[in-house]
A and B are shown apart, each in its own frame.
Chain A
Amino acid sequence: MNFFLLSLIKTGLVAFVLLTTLAYLQWIERKVLAHIQLRPGPYRVGPHGLLQPLADVVKLATKEGVIPGNANVFFFLFAPFFAVTLALTSISVIPFGPEIEVFGVKTNMELTGVNIGVLFILALSSLGVYGIAIGGWASNSKYSLMGGLRSSAQMISYELPMSLAIAAPLLLVNTLNFRDMVNAQSGYWLGVIPKWNVFAGPFPQFFSFLIFLIAAFAETNRVPFDLPEAESELVSGFHTEYSSLGFAAFFMAEYANMITVCSVATLLYLGGWQPLWPSSLGSDFVAPLIHFAAAGMLFYHAGQTVKSRTWDRFSFPAFGVIFLVVGALFLVPVLKPILIPLFWFVGKVGILLFIFIWIRGTLPRFRYDQLMRFAWTFLFPVAIVNLLITGLLVALQS
């Protein structure tokens, strides 16, 4: 098949799925946070607020975009555009599954197979700070300016431990290509324990994984490292002055970055799309079973809805049917090699994303200088020691 046509189809598909996921990730975050905090969350727009993301998009798109007086208009408009472009671009090198064959066409489940995928992602994520710093500076607001400054300092501090943390598993897999990395993590110790980088190798990369996760929180400006937008101190930090689509772009960039770092963590440490236990022990049936269980729960609860939730009587069975169909798709032999790896990949990323949201509902925020000290005096040395030990063990092994 024509290379360009294939790329076009894949790009369209990935962009569509990604943008929908971004919108619904925000819905999930609001729901999870709400349930942690004893409140129902979005509830009014659609059944259980499922159409809320749509309403938000419409609202943000139709609002007036205010440009503050004395702002540098070019950079003010450029910053959110830059941030969202970088965030969406980095997804393009992330593979979601193994090589597949659709209608006789063999293709990889990714947009571009870059040989130096890890470096590409690192480069893009360090460029991401420019969007925030420029946006904070160009707004001509003091709160924004301080948000931008904090962000720059934070990024510099956390790039280093993050890169050092990543270097250790790279020594184990001996490649910079994500696809090869996942293939190197296939197989099982004793037939059951997966040879993922977190568990396996001459030196399990558990500490490296934790450092990467902590640095990822800082990289994506999430609680407890959300200093650039510290609400109680800097109002909203760098995006205080943004409204309408400028704000939406920053918002999208944040969520896209979250997805990227969680995907990278999955590929580097959690074996990508490798199942938790071998398919000879029935791991292929996990995906359909989970979907069937979800459908069963929806059918069960559809019968006992409260009077005030009239719509649940229709929406629950409808979603139940959708889950049943999706679950059944996993059993179709043609689709199986595509969907099962995708399920494991999405599942792992989803668990990491859930941890991001969970932390947001639990922890207070660091102070500016404490955060820097934490990065330089704790994460940095630990990452170096981890790298040295891994290197030593790898050298001894070979």
Chain B
Amino acid sequence: MNEIDETTVPSGFETQVTENLAGGGRRMVLNMGPQHPSTHGVLRILLELDGEIIQKAEPDIGFLHTGIEKQAETLTWQQVVTLTDRMDYLSNMANNLAYVLPVEKLLGIEIPPKAQWLRVLLSELSRINSHAVWLGTHALDLGAMTVFFYCFREREDILRLFEMFSGQRLMTSYIRIGGVALEPPRGWEKAVGRFVDGLQEKIDEYENLLNTNPIFLQRTQKVGYLSLEQLLDIGVTGPMIRAAGLKWDIRKSEPYSSYEKFDFDIPVYNESDVYARFRVRLEEMRQSARICKQAMEGMPEGAWKADAPKVVLPDREKMKTQMEALIYHFKIVTEGFRVPAGEAYVPVESPRGEIGFYAVSDGTSKPYRVFMRTPSFGNLQCLSALFEGKLISDSIAALGSMDFVLGDVDR
């Protein structure tokens, strides 16, 4: 082991260089991140290394702190939707939905079936989007560069669909309190249908590239194992826990937004390693495509906004012709709508796990508090357990299999 210059040790990590190992060498402290190609954003991990083996790993979060939770208290209820896009920029629709549901529960408004179906369709599309990005970056971490570009081809298609629906690619804010923002555009069935039909074939392509590749199997099988008990203790949710053998999916266990009317399976694997997580996510992409197809074919007719004039903006036509509608429009736009005092929490299955917004209202037009239970933050807690005693290469594979978004961790 090379001699370490004391001056190169990062500040804020004092315990390291002093400890002598049996062989006469000393442990090396490696500051991985916040600018590191595979920490997926600005995560900083302090690694204490003995050769290539990690003895101790400490994640250091907060480099992407945006203060979204605090900001939410200064905006009106409807405006907060735009913040949820910015937390987890890969699963924007699921975040919108997770915020909107508790507020609607507080308001006690009924959402028309068409809006519910649209919400399901778009959250599933954003699940495919998120998993595609995950697969690409994870494969890139393992050195398979090409899969990354293939996955981004799918992502591009989904972003085009999002743009079609909402006029935005990333910060869609399409799902609003009381329904969805706009009526679906003409020709959307064709565009979604084409994408969903082509997707199975493309997932087969990824499987062909990776599934039977001996190097990929060696790098992922029996790597990054954590037992189900450990995962439950830490509070991990989502694909990671399904890869550990627990059939837990909020879409099935506590259905929201009419998920109970859709027919889909929950993939479960028991190995709890990086490969099992890969299989779970790949299978989820297939299931999401199935749900999208059902949502598209069974799309009910009718309104895409709730019949709640005090909450939902009136149609443009009505606003220009009817006095009453104009007044409602003016009130909603200038001061927002009031939400009855109370508190509500509705969990939602985001691509990463359970996401939920604990909304507290004091009866005004601005939230008193919106606490965000984000899956990335929960899942990141198992980092030390995944890293310690492992090789750097394995820990990179395990890190990729956690699938977190730093914007979701530091909000």
Segment with Cβ contacts to B, from A74-82, A164-172, A229-237: A229-237
Contact of B142 among A140, A232, A235, A362 (CB under 8 A): A232
A residues in contact with B215, CB < 8 Å: 224, 363-366
B residues in contact with A362, CB < 8 Å: 144, 146, 209
Q: Contact: B391 with A369, CB < 8 Å?
A: yes
* CB-contacts of B93-150 with A (<8 A): 139-146, 148-150
* CB-contacts of A223-282 with B (<8 A): 223-224, 226, 230-235
Q: Distance in Å from the Cβ of B176 to the closest Cβ of chain A?
A: 35
Q: Contact: A233 with B145, CB < 8 Å?
A: no
Q: Contact: A231 with B393, CB < 8 Å?
A: no
- Given A137-B2, A146-B52, do A230 and B143 touch, yes or no (CB 8 Å)? yes
Report which residue of A145, A232, A235, A364 has the largest number of chain B beta carbons within 10 angstroms of its beta carbon: A364
Closest to A370 in B: B218
Q: Is A310 an interface residue (CB 8 A)?
A: no
Q: Distance in Å from the Cβ of B212 to the closest Cβ of chain A?
A: 12
Q: Is A391 an interface residue (CB 8 A)?
A: no
Q: Distance in Å from the Cβ of A338 to the closest Cβ of chain B?
A: 39
A residues in contact with B2, CB < 8 Å: 137, 145
Q: Is A66 an interface residue (CB 8 A)?
A: no
* CB-contacts of B24-48 with A (<8 A): 28, 30, 36-38
Task: Please tell me the size bucket of the interface on B.
Answer: 20 to 34
- Given A38-B150, A235-B36, A370-B218, do A361 and B145 touch, yes or no (CB 8 Å)? yes
- Given A146-B52, A363-B213, do A232 and B145 touch, yes or no (CB 8 Å)? no
Closest to B5 in A: A70
A-facing mask of B49-70, CB < 8 A → 1, else 0?
0001000000000000000000
Q: Is A39 an interface residue (CB 8 A)?
A: yes
- Given A230-B143, A232-B37, do A368 and B52 touch, yes or no (CB 8 Å)? yes
- Given A38-B149, A233-B392, A369-B391, do A140 and B5 touch, yes or no (CB 8 Å)? yes
Q: Is A89 an interface residue (CB 8 A)?
A: no
Q: Contact: A140 with B8, CB < 8 Å?
A: yes
A146, B141: Cα distance in complex, Å: 17
Q: Distance in Å from the Cβ of B361 to the closest Cβ of chain A?
A: 45
**Chain A residues within 8 Å of chain B by Cβ, number:** 32
Q: Contact: B139 with A364, CB < 8 Å?
A: yes
Closest to B140 in A: A232
Q: Distance in Å from the Cβ of B282 to the closest Cβ of chain A?
A: 16
Q: Contact: B8 with A70, CB < 8 Å?
A: yes
Q: Is B216 an interface residue (CB 8 A)?
A: yes
A residues in contact with B140, CB < 8 Å: 232
Contact of A233 among B5, B139, B393 (CB under 8 A): B393
B residues in contact with A143, CB < 8 Å: 30
B-facing mask of A30-72, CB < 8 A → 1, else 0?
0001001111000000000000000000000000000000100
Q: Contact: A361 with B146, CB < 8 Å?
A: yes
- Given A142-B30, A235-B36, A364-B216, do A223 and B143 touch, yes or no (CB 8 Å)? yes
Q: Contact: A230 with B393, CB < 8 Å?
A: yes
Contact of A364 among B7, B28, B142 (CB under 8 A): B142
A231, B142: Cα distance in complex, Å: 9
A369, B218: Cα distance in complex, Å: 11
Q: Contact: B393 with A368, CB < 8 Å?
A: yes
- Given A137-B2, A233-B38, do A367 and B150 touch, yes or no (CB 8 Å)? no
Q: Contact: B219 with A364, CB < 8 Å?
A: yes
Q: Is B331 an interface residue (CB 8 A)?
A: no
A residues in contact with B144, CB < 8 Å: 362-365
A36, B140: Cα distance in complex, Å: 15
Q: Is B170 an interface residue (CB 8 A)?
A: no
A36, B5: Cα distance in complex, Å: 44
Contact of A37 among B146, B216, B392 (CB under 8 A): B146
Q: Is B153 an interface residue (CB 8 A)?
A: yes
Q: Distance in Å from the Cβ of B38 to the closest Cβ of chain A?
A: 4
Q: Is A360 an interface residue (CB 8 A)?
A: yes
Q: Distance in Å from the Cβ of A354 to the closest Cβ of chain B?
A: 16
Q: Distance in Å from the Cβ of B390 to the closest Cβ of chain A?
A: 11
* CB-contacts of A85-104 with B (<8 A): none
Contact of B393 among A33, A38, A367 (CB under 8 A): A367
Q: Is B396 an interface residue (CB 8 A)?
A: yes
Q: Is B394 an interface residue (CB 8 A)?
A: yes
A234, B392: Cα distance in complex, Å: 9
A residues in contact with B209, CB < 8 Å: 362
B residues in contact with A360, CB < 8 Å: 145
Contact of B143 among A38, A70, A364 (CB under 8 A): A364
Q: Distance in Å from the Cβ of A241 to the closest Cβ of chain B?
A: 12
A367, B393: Cα distance in complex, Å: 6
Q: Contact: B141 with A232, CB < 8 Å?
A: yes
A-facing mask of B149-190, CB < 8 A → 1, else 0?
110010000000000000000000000000000000000000
Contact of B219 among A36, A37, A234, A367 (CB under 8 A): A367
A residues in contact with B143, CB < 8 Å: 223-224, 226, 230-232, 363-365
A36, B218: Cα distance in complex, Å: 24
A100, B8: Cα distance in complex, Å: 59
A230, B32: Cα distance in complex, Å: 14
A363, B215: Cα distance in complex, Å: 8
B residues in contact with A223, CB < 8 Å: 143
Q: Distance in Å from the Cβ of B50 to the closest Cβ of chain A?
A: 12
B residues in contact with A367, CB < 8 Å: 218-219, 391, 393-394
A233, B143: Cα distance in complex, Å: 10
A232, B141: Cα distance in complex, Å: 5
A370, B216: Cα distance in complex, Å: 12
B residues in contact with A363, CB < 8 Å: 143-144, 213, 215
B residues in contact with A230, CB < 8 Å: 143, 393
- Given A365-B143, A366-B218, do A235 and B37 touch, yes or no (CB 8 Å)? yes
A residues in contact with B36, CB < 8 Å: 235
A residues in contact with B5, CB < 8 Å: 70, 140
Q: Distance in Å from the Cβ of A202 to the closest Cβ of chain B?
A: 32
Q: Distance in Å from the Cβ of B154 to the closest Cβ of chain A?
A: 11
* CB-contacts of A4-54 with B (<8 A): 33, 36-39
A residues in contact with B149, CB < 8 Å: 37-39
A-facing mask of B385-411, CB < 8 A → 1, else 0?
000000111101000000000000000
Closest to A34 in B: B149
- Residues of B participating in the A interface, judged by any CB pair closer than 8 Å: 2, 5, 7-8, 28, 30, 36-38, 52, 139-146, 148-150, 153, 209-210, 213, 215-216, 218-219, 391-394, 396
What are 25 pairs between A and B in contact, CB < 8 Å? A33-B145, A37-B145, A38-B149, A39-B149, A70-B5, A70-B7, A142-B30, A146-B52, A224-B143, A224-B215, A232-B142, A233-B396, A234-B392, A235-B36, A362-B144, A362-B146, A363-B144, A363-B213, A363-B215, A364-B216, A365-B144, A365-B215, A365-B393, A368-B393, A369-B391
Q: Which 4 A-B pairs have the closest CB atoms?
A: A365-B143, A37-B149, A364-B144, A232-B38
Inter-chain pairs besides A142-B8, A365-B393, 13 sampled, C-beta below 8 Å = A37-B145, A37-B146, A37-B148, A142-B30, A146-B392, A224-B143, A231-B37, A233-B392, A235-B37, A364-B143, A364-B210, A364-B219, A370-B219
